[in-house]
Amino acid sequence: MTRPRFDMGRLLAVARKEVIQLRRDTRSLVLAFLLPVLLLILFGYAITWDVTDVSTVVVDHDQSTRSRELVDAFRSSRYFTVAPELDRTAEIAPLLDRGGAQLALVIPPGFGADLESGRPAPLQAVVDGSDANTAGIILNYTQGVVRTYDTRVRFAGQTLAPPVQVRSRVWYNEELRSRNMIVPGLVAVIMMIIAAMLTSLTIAREWERGTMEQLAATPVTRSEVVLGKLLPYLGIGLADVAITSLLGVWLFQVPFRGDPVLLTILTTAFIVGALGLGMFISAATRSQLLATQVAMVLTFLPAFLLSGFMYAIDIMPRALQAITYLVPARYFLVVTRGIFLKGVGMDELRTQGLLMIAFGALGLFLAIRVFRKEIR
């Protein structure tokens, strides 16, 4: 078999043609440039796992100085928003049912007196448990406020510090804001969307429209076609990463502590892998509809659900955890979050970096390998 020489001119001709077609395709342009911004704003503003401003109601049967001090302690915490007091315990249930309150504190009669005389002073907290995760966090915060108040009362007037005191400090995401986790992760998800919704169509479309036959009759080689088609999407991908990162930093004050060059290099490898995978699916199915569906299942969904973007991998069932090792986005998330939040360099990211480059090479290999110019 004669092996034709690799020709940059032909590759660029394919790339230029692809750009012209993309420019005229509104659907693709929306997917490429509007969707990432939309996702960023959606996740940045609307979807957040932070628990703040817990709407709190109080029934104070004690009406003592101590009970009022405790309520004030809640009022002054930024995690709670305390509504005007209720008169009767019976009013709590309907409020929680309606979602009018997330937390109800019931202070029993004699609370202040018990506290003064050093007896145990019980306190009731009723939490809306319909979202177990949020409920747990609210209870933790509640106990925190109560414990602080308790300490203050018991050691009032003494200069002695409490025997053991934990001073916790959170690193990397100091304010525990979920946005800080989301923005770096979104980069991976957006790349997979481009791979699934745009790249997966590009070769299948040529088969469906019959243009592949004319292409096949020219001396263009399969690596020229695959690389030529990949180039514009790589450009879109990198532009999206830049847009997402800049918006994340400016709009949502996500810290960027690492090296932008390193991020660009590893992101490029990841994008090439994702696009190659999309193109592989496109060439293998030869049908636009089928290609999109397969690509959604193989690229987008795992990146969204199993990469650690939406759900922490640690809390997944064992079987699912095992699957996540096969999801490239899982490793890419370590890269982006590491560079954004921790400012780590190539030393810390050696494994993930090599995996990204391996993924990029695999994607390209698969796409070029499966792509056949021969007409069946």
Give me the residues that bind another protein (CB under 8 A), please: 1-4, 7, 9-10, 12-14, 16-17, 20-21, 24-25, 209-221, 373-375
CB of 4 to another protein, least distance (A): 4
> 81 has which bridge partners?
55
CB of 232 to another protein, least distance (A): 14
CB of 214 to another protein, least distance (A): 4
CB of 24 to another protein, least distance (A): 5
User: In terms of Cα–Cα distance, which of 69, 328, 310, 279 is closest to 186?
Assistant: 310
183 torsion bin: left (phi>0), alpha (psi -120 to 50), beta (else) = alpha
Between CA 197 and CA 295 the distance in angstroms is 8
CB of 261 to another protein, least distance (A): 33
Between CA 8 and CA 138 the distance in angstroms is 61
Nearer to another protein, 17 or 68 (CB): 17
Between CA 58 and CA 103 the distance in angstroms is 9
Nearer to another protein, 24 or 167 (CB): 24
CB of 20 to another protein, least distance (A): 6
Between CA 186 and CA 310 the distance in angstroms is 10
CB of 215 to another protein, least distance (A): 7
Nearer to another protein, 62 or 206 (CB): 206
Nearer to another protein, 225 or 266 (CB): 225
Encode burial over 20-52: b for 16+ CB neighbours within 10 A, e otherwise: eebeeeeebeebbeeebeebbeebbeeeeeebe
Between CA 329 and CA 337 the distance in angstroms is 12
Between CA 133 and CA 304 the distance in angstroms is 20
Between CA 45 and CA 54 the distance in angstroms is 18
Nearer to another protein, 212 or 274 (CB): 212
Nearer to another protein, 4 or 94 (CB): 4
Nearer to another protein, 19 or 249 (CB): 19
